[in-house]
Structure 1
């Protein structure tokens, strides 16, 4: 990375001396710039991989010199900075490298819970800040590759938050419903990850779920109808995985809503005779 920066400075000096940039100057700066960003992300990956090995001294050292916060700040800048000069493909690579690093840093960055009567402002915890950034970008993102990258790490982020996911319920459910509506290719990576996120959200935030039951029930039934009745080129194992994930969500919803899902599904099998869909709904009805 240092050699890249030196190269960029050298080209800058050449430009200032001549007064006129070379025809390839902008392209050369772009190449150096994108390579530097990727190198920074991979450097963060190396540091967090070392921390993942369980080296207590490294974790204490990171805290002592506050290097953990510096690394996290730079990784957040790499992932969510307003940088428009990099391609979508490079942004996807950066997300796939930097987001796991941020997740691995959470145990180091996590603050102690506030004592009884002590005030702690919402959003101060780094994991909450990252969740806000991820959901904001997921809501606005329309490119399939980037949506897939965000969704791939959303279950892990939600698991790290645990019960604190209730702080983000409104925006998180908007993202879940919106992403369940869109097919992202034969592998359906996005939908599968979103279903996993929904299952974890129901488990951790179940007291808040009954008020959102109509919204979630409609989204899940629409997903199940799309993958069974609509003519799409989805492999059979992927279709089965989607149906299993959606059925598990329905079972969790029914358990935390005192049987309201079973009551709502009573007349649905008569409206659709697709065998796989009927089988999934029957599994929900027979659950005790």
Structure 2
């Protein structure tokens, strides 16, 4: 950004048109949409910080993020999830080799709790690390996570997520220990989380390069969509700004649902023929289609 806007450019002088020119320049330099979006996110945070100053401008430049084709969509199966989480847990059992070295930091169990919450809630890593105890409601009747600090949210859209039983159990366990007074994961950091995750994935022998921490968010969303078929619910749960964003990312789940719908129709016809006529058409392709779809 410094090379494009200049090292002495005042942030307040950058307009929406300037941002559009910057986006075009980034694309012309063959940068992927995902790379451009991460740089735009950085620029957006600077704009928001400027606006929050006592003498900051009332309005800031607006821009749209680029559509990311082929965005990461890797999701964990339940078996893979168990393997990775077990590998994380095992990291605290490692002992120094014959050459010793500095004392090993035994904190993998804390990051395991973080990963468990991520896959149960679909939160982004930064959102979970920024949680405060006041954001959590854990009463006899309610178990909620309130994400309301706008500047900490990627889309700037506040939302409330219900806790699963597993998620609540993790939070209660963390609170019962001598945890950080600010929040459940306030003593953890992104860099260490990524290091522990990478080691655990390698030890679990998952070779897919898209098996990064963010896949926990996709895993949660995929399971939720398969369980409910409700795209609007998934949009609100994840905090997407538009339903189109959710539909684009999880279109493959919608396709699976369509196949299951076709299989259900075929099964309905088979049941009718069996009960009404006592026979079924002898079409192997008919059977193969149903078996393949289900």
TM-score (norm 2): 0.24
Higher strand proportion, which one?
Answer: 2
TM-score (norm 1): 0.25
